Amino acid sequence: MARLHAVTKGANNDSRESQQQLVPFSERPSQLRDSTKPSPPPGPLGGPLNVVKNYSEQNSLPRVSQGERSPSRNFIFNMIRYIVTISILLFFFLHATSITWPRVFNNLGACRLTECCHSNDGTGYILYDKGVYGLREDLRSKVHGQPLISEPIFRSLMAHLTNEKPSRPLVMYFSGWTGTGKTYVAHLIAKNLYKEGLKSRFVKYISSSFHFPVSIQGDHEIDIQRTKLRDMIREVITRCERSLIILDELDKLPAGVVDVLQPMFDYVESVDGVQYSKAIFIFLSNTGATTLNKLSYKMFQEGKERDDLKSKDIEEVLINESYDEAGGLRHSSLLKRYSIGVFVPFLPLERKHIKLCIRDKIKELYNEEQNTAAVIEDIAEEMTYFPDEIQMYSKSGCKRVSEKVINYLGPPTMLLNQTSPLVGNQEL
């Protein structure tokens, strides 16, 4: 029996060897050709079953079952989920703590690259109350002969800039004789409130004679100029709600054009999605200057100082004259509806004030050795004054002081050392 079992086992081995010999050697997998080990059982097609299976697994792409994400897709999905979650949490945190996005960007250093419109946080490009205090010092030390301007400007700006939700914009009206300091004070306001001064993207200077030089006839042309003025102002305030608009030579602006600003000055939250209530408007005009000159001269004849004048008395005079005289505010709704909040009168400058302007200009351009009483007196004599009988008030204010000083003392060193501007290869 044992012998029969051994014979049967040998027969089976011979049968397997014969089946292997049926598969051509060249068609066998390379690992089988090089191997000296016994071949595994043949597969259905005549080749080794387990070798073909291993070959397929090693050379095919990994299979992903339906509904299962690859590792790379899982990573991207998780990152998006984390970013969205963090953004939502950060939004609610900033809202709950009243921290604004501009302040966040400012703290991250974004405002180092460009001028930012930000809240009153003590840093950045808008100086708020810090700038107002600096302005008051400049008004006291650099502006002469104007006792009625410092405190009204200081109090109005401080109240407006420290109010996070003002009900309407601050509108100031500077009126007076030429050369009395209206434009100079407006420039000081821009310099002290904005880090970039008049170059700031949030300061717009509009000259009526430059930006509106054409003579306007008819309602259609007035509407065109109204649209132009409105768009100029809206562009700046859209950029920053705390913008400063300086409208110079208002008396030369055609009547009716400035009325387009009335909706901006009303007690409304916004106009066409733009909030104007945080802005500052300054109107400069010569309207009422003659009346102010007569009033100042009358005070002098009565032996009173100009400091004794009251802004309240002058305000009524300026409103009446601006409403009746030809110019930008003639019969204007801005006066009818009391949209101008602060009237600032600039009085005519006396000879003693002109001497102070001369002193400051010599100090700015030259050394102190030339700043003597005799030099100042000689230059002051070069100016023209009125009225003829007493020669008291300067006809041009301090406007021509710089030219008179340079003509008397010669070009200052600071000007001689400056390089001449070039256009191509030719000096101007």
At 197-251, the pLDDT tens digits run: 999 999 999 999 899 877 767 788 889 999 999 999 999 999 999 999 999 999 9
Q: Does the pLDDT at position 346 exceed 90? A: yes
Residue count of the chain: 428
Residue 25 DSSP one-character state: G
- CA–CA gap between residue 175 and residue 186 (Å, rounded): 12
In a domain, 139, yes or no: yes
Smallest Cα–Cα separation from 46: which of 60, 62, 29, 34? Answer: 29
Of 110, 137, 169, the domain-final residue: 110
Residue 182: other Cβ atoms inside 10 A: 26
Q: Are 331 and 358 members of one domain? A: no
pLDDT of 419 reads: 44
Q: Which residues contact 113 (CB under 8 A, 6 or more apart)?
A: none
Q: Are 93 and 234 members of one domain? A: no
Q: Does the pLDDT at position 81 exceed 60? A: yes
Q: Are 104 and 136 members of one domain? A: no
In a domain, 417, yes or no: no
Q: Are 386 and 342 members of one domain? A: no
In a domain, 186, yes or no: yes
In a domain, 136, yes or no: yes
Q: Are 176 and 90 members of one domain? A: no
Q: Are 94 and 192 members of one domain? A: no
Q: Are 324 and 382 members of one domain? A: no
Could you tell me whether strands 280-285 and 342-346 are parallel, antiparallel, or unpaired per DSSP bridges?
Answer: unpaired
Q: Are 260 and 308 members of one domain? A: yes
What does pLDDT average to over the chain?
81
Instruction: Give the total number of structural domains in the chain.
Output: 3
Q: Are 171 and 230 members of one domain? A: yes
User: pTM value?
Assistant: 0.71
Residue 93, domain extent: 71-110
Q: Are 87 and 140 members of one domain? A: no
- Rounded to an integer, the average pLDDT of 362-391 is 89
pLDDT of 145 reads: 94
Q: Does the pLDDT at position 385 exceed 80? A: yes
Structure tokens at 368: 């102190």
> pLDDT grade, residue 114 (50/70/90)?
confident
Of 348, 370, 392, the domain-final residue: 348
Q: Are 366 and 300 members of one domain? A: no
In a domain, 405, yes or no: yes
In a domain, 30, yes or no: no
Q: Are 246 and 343 members of one domain? A: yes
In a domain, 208, yes or no: yes
Q: Does the pLDDT at position 386 exceed 70? A: yes
* Helix (H/G/I), strand (E/B), else coil: 173: strand
Percent of the chain with pLDDT over 70: 74
Q: Does the pLDDT at position 357 exceed 90? A: yes
In a domain, 66, yes or no: no
Beta strand extents in 187-336 (DSSP E only): 203-207, 244-248, 280-285
